Amino acid sequence: MDIRRVAFDHPDAVKLDDEVRLEYIKLYGPEDGGDATPLDATMFDPPHGIYLIAYDGETGEPLATGGWRSQEDNPEGYADGDAELKRMYVVPRARGRGLARLILAALEDDARSAGRDRMVLSTGSAQPEAIALYASSGYAPATPFGHYRHHDDVRCFAKAL
């Protein structure tokens, strides 16, 4: 497995982002196009964030992705020093191989190195595998935050870094 830092607007990142947004539409409906959270490629530029893709070492195919972006205290419920996990995704044919856990660990290490205090994330109730991954990685339920903080099916989690 080859994990590489890429820009959020890199063609492989855009391809995987399109795939995860289609999955969100299947799970939660088309109301906001899969996720209306405002994201900009510069939000993932070091030292304020990072975006990673795991590539198959033999074929070079992009298989998994994820990023973090800096957050500070604001009306959406974030706290100073937060690193927000975004766009964790593993293509269906590569699931069950531990790729999400590898990406998550790399993102946590990078956010810690960048001086972030806490990793936060939101996921949905229709994603039990994601919830299980985060729970088994030391994440605890958190007060709702972010763009979807008022939605009933959103589950927010946090972990001290």
The C-alpha torsion from 75 through 122 and 10 to 91, rounded to 10°, is: -170
Q: Please compute, for residue 1, the number of CA atoms within 13 A of its CA located in the half-sphere on the CB side.
A: 16
pLDDT at 30: 81
Residue of 61, 8, 13, 58 lying closest to 38 (CA atoms): 8
Going from the N-terminus, what domains does the chain have, and what CATH number goes with each?
2-160 (3.40.630.30)
- The pTM of the full predicted model, rounded to 2 decimals, is 0.94
CA distance 130 to 125: 9
- Sheet of strand 62-71: strand arrangement: 2-5, 49-55, 62-71, 82-90, 118-124, 154-160, 140-141
pLDDT at 32: 64
CA pseudo-torsion sign 28, 32, 38, 42 = positive
Which H helix or E strand runs over 20?
helix 11-28
pLDDT at 33: 60
pLDDT at 29: 85
pLDDT at 43: 96
One pLDDT digit (tens) per residue for the chain, 161 residues? 899 999 999 999 999 999 999 998 999 888 766 677 889 999 999 999 999 999 999 999 999 999 999 999 999 899 999 999 999 999 999 999 999 999 999 999 999 999 999 999 999 899 999 999 999 999 999 999 988 888 888 999 999 99
Contacts 24+ apart (CB under 8 A), 134-140: 134/159, 137/101, 137/104
CA distance 22 to 45: 25
Q: Angle at the Cα of 45 (from 40 to 50), degrees rounded to 5?
A: 100
